[in-house]
Structure 1
Amino acid sequence: MQETYLLAIESSCDDTSASVLYNNKVLSNEVANQEVHKQYGGVVPELASRAHLQNIVPVVAQALKKAGVQKEQLSAIAFTRGPGLMGSLLVGTSFAKSMAMGLGIPLIEVNHMQAHILAHFIDEGQAKPQFPFLALTISGGHTQIVKVKSFFEMEVLGETLDDAVGEAFDKTAKILGLPYPGGPLIDRYAQKGNPKAFSFSQPNIQGLNFSFSGLKTGILYFIQKQTQEDPAFVEKHLADICASVQETIISILIKKVKKAVQQTGIKQVAIGGGVSANSGIRKALKAMGEQYSWETFVPKFDYCTDNAAMVGIVGYYKFLEGQFSAQAVTAQPRLSISKE
């Protein structure tokens, strides 16, 4: 087996991350979060790219140090080309290109969403999905059901027609007066509430596509109506509201996954993306798997949110295939997973 040391860089949104892999094993996975966005209630692209500029050198240095690897030992550098915020992607892309050129080693571009799916193949002794399998990718910017035929052949079977599921969680949190990022807070409060306390209508979308804009509007109108009658309504019922919203979102996701399994006959289902850290979604998917005899795969929390280790595992398999990028490669904020 060829010895491969690979440096991976992820900078698609507001987390600057660097990871060092030895073949398909993670030696380090460093992430610098950006606190600056909290006061604005969401990611500000210009501030994100500036923070990446400040963070990328120390994060890469820390990843190499923690892994005990010298930069001269590196076999290749993998980086997120897209999708994501243009300014943020440019920082990671430019750094990766410069470092690869300076070291005279190959450069490997990675699709961010492909990385979320293939994070399941990071070797930590766990069971891994077998091709073909279905992947539910859920994040702040994406909601997709993907048929994964091989490491590099993927087909989007369904996706959101408007808002992503992560956006639905964050916007709901904002309506409830919770700080950004609100998704994890809704999950925390939901664990203490009654998921049947309040009812929210679910969209009737054909096929395997999703829609969350109507649900978001419905929640807004519901909260406005209730707070007119009782200004302390949210405060009194916060846990129940969060539990009911989360239950509705989970139901929307699970129904589509069930439909995808029925249509394709594929009974291996994996989840990926930042929202896959949600405890309710993880439990529901596992429960459905047990009920219908699916095999379900849930990533470690470390590999749910944006991180460079998932970029590194894609980079490793591309390295084995000799799929290298030219120095002329540029960041691409709208990069389709089906074209990989």
Structure 2
Amino acid sequence: MCALLYARCAGRRLVQNSQWLQRLCVKNQIKGYRVLAIETSCDDACVTLMDRYSPDEAPKVVDERKVTLDSASAGGVVPTDAANHNRKNISKLVNQMIIDNKWGSAETKPDLVCATRGPGMVGSLAGGYQLACGLSIAWQVPLVGVNHMLGHLMVVRMESNGKEPQYPFLSLLVSGGHTMCVLSHSLTHHEILVDTVDIAAGDALDKCGRELGISGNMIGREVEKLLDQHREEWGKPVEIMVKEPMLNQWDRKDSLQYSFASFNSQVKNTLKKFYSSEIPQDETIKARLLFRFQQTIFQHMISKIKLAIKIHKLDVKNFICSGGVSSNLYLRKMLKDQLGPAGIENFYFPEPRLCTDNATMIGWAGIELYEQGYTTDIGTTVIRKWPITKLLELEGWERKPNNL
């Protein structure tokens, strides 16, 4: 009897010690978490589910989906159409992804919601951000309102789990809505070295393409497709009136600014002078014209980056090119060929699917912010203009030492 009682007591102590050890392990282990990310800054309704299963490895992209407004017939994005598109589709996308991936139960629900808060078109932003606020309340999980530009900047760091590129690094953010050269000192400290005074480079490329008869929902991609089919025409002589802006003294030659608005009029002047205002029907001639305009637009961006490096005496080894236009392979080649001799050693480009607007970049930027202790109050609203240089000046941030 005594032996049996002793065995029972020893067994109870063994179980108790095992339970204590398990609690100790759990206490000292960083918990993995699930992330739902939403991006609706323009004409794309985007959702991504991410599993941050380990702090030492890149998160797993469980599912990502996008529905883009067809604006080809409208000749560009109409803000009211984009807003209606996002409000109509974003809730459906989120609901279907949650169902398909079985993330709806109390055990599998997302632990963090990230959504684009700005900059962008207010009507489009509101559809996704308000949904994110509602889900944060319903699930009782934190919310991170992400700056759209920060998403583009940070997405290349996801593959290395935030280790590369190291700070400081230089970036060219280029798309249909923005073109700027940025010097990043840390996750929350960014300096714009060159910004556009009028339209973005992607917008200029689209306008040139339309003037030369290119149609479709994504003009830039259609232009690149045509040029790829006629690579032998690249650089061949063609009658054209095109010059890089801001090369003359009266153009403020040493100004750290971009200007792309003139390219549209340069296309029209070329067609008027050499082609009687008619669009050339010969595909090879059209390819030569498109190549020259594209090349000059790209050169304008690179010339100003080189000027910024010179004026600021930058000693930066890492360079990122991100945004919709960054998927252009010829732009990537020009950047490497010309910035390599200027001191840049390492070039980083997102995967093609992550160049255009997407929710994965918002999820990763949200993860980086969250793990540095940043969350957003659910009483906040979207904002049309939110300079990346004033990332933390926007009201609504809440800060803890860390959220791990």
TM surpasses 0.5: yes
1:327 equivalent in structure 2: 378
Higher-Rg structure is 2
2:365 equivalent in structure 1: 314
SS of the residue aligned with 1:215? helix
| Number of equivalences | 339
Matched, 1:237 2:237: no
- Out of 22, 39, 48, which is 2:73 matched to? 39
Shift in alpha-carbon separation, 1:208–1:159, aligned structure 2, 3 A: same
C-alpha distance in structure 1 between counterparts of 2:368 and 2:43, whole Å: 26
* 1:91 partner letter: G
Shift in alpha-carbon separation, 1:13–1:134, aligned structure 2, 3 A: same
Unaligned 5+ segments in structure 1 are none
- Out of 115, 140, 148, which is 2:151 matched to? 115
- Out of 145, 148, 154, which is 2:181 matched to? 145
Greater mean alpha carbon deviation, residues 52-61 or residues 238-247: 52-61
* 1:245 partner letter: F
Question: Which residues of 2 match residues 166-315 of structure 1 at below 5 A?
Answer: 166-180=202-216, 181-191=218-228, 192=230, 193-198=233-238, 200-204=242-246, 205-228=253-276, 232=280, 235=283, 237-262=285-310, 263=312, 264-294=314-344, 295-315=346-366
C-alpha distance in structure 1 between counterparts of 2:337 and 2:265, whole Å: 29
Shift in alpha-carbon separation, 1:177–1:332, aligned structure 2, 3 A: same
Greater mean alpha carbon deviation, residues 61-70 or residues 158-167: 61-70
- Out of 48, 64, 78, which is 1:19 matched to? 48
Structure number with greater CO (CA < 8 Å, separation at least 6) is: 1
1:163 equivalent in structure 2: 199
SS of the residue aligned with 1:335? coil
TM-score by length of 1: 0.93
Residue 158 of structure 1, CA deviation: 1.0
- Out of 18, 27, 34, which is 1:5 matched to? 34
Residue 298 of structure 1, CA deviation: 0.9
Greater mean alpha carbon deviation, residues 81-90 or residues 278-287: 278-287
Give the fraction of aligned pairs with identical amino acids, expressed as a percent.
Answer: 29
C-alpha distance in structure 2 between counterparts of 1:229 and 1:130, whole Å: 50
SS of the residue aligned with 2:258? coil
Q: Deviations over 1:92-146 (max 9, x none)?
A: 1111111111111111111101110101111268982110000100011111000
C-alpha distance in structure 1 between counterparts of 2:169 and 2:284, whole Å: 43
Does structure 2 retain, via aligned residues, the 8 Å contact 1:289–1:296? Answer: no
Greater mean alpha carbon deviation, residues 44-53 or residues 137-146: 44-53
Q: Deviations over 1:27-58 (max 9, x none)?
A: 222111112x1111101111111111221123
Does structure 2 retain, via aligned residues, the 8 Å contact 1:118–1:310? Answer: yes
SS of the residue aligned with 2:292? helix
TM-score by length of 2: 0.79
SS of the residue aligned with 1:324? strand
* 2:377 partner letter: A
Does structure 2 retain, via aligned residues, the 8 Å contact 1:187–1:246? Answer: no
Q: Deviations over 1:204-262 (max 9, x none)?
A: 15332100112221122112222217664665611111111111112111222222333
SS of the residue aligned with 2:171? strand
Matched, 1:56 2:90: yes
Shift in alpha-carbon separation, 1:312–1:227, aligned structure 2, 3 A: same
Does structure 1 retain, via aligned residues, the 8 Å contact 2:315–2:343? Answer: no
Shift in alpha-carbon separation, 1:253–1:231, aligned structure 2, 3 A: closer
Shift in alpha-carbon separation, 1:229–1:138, aligned structure 2, 3 A: closer
SS of the residue aligned with 1:207? coil
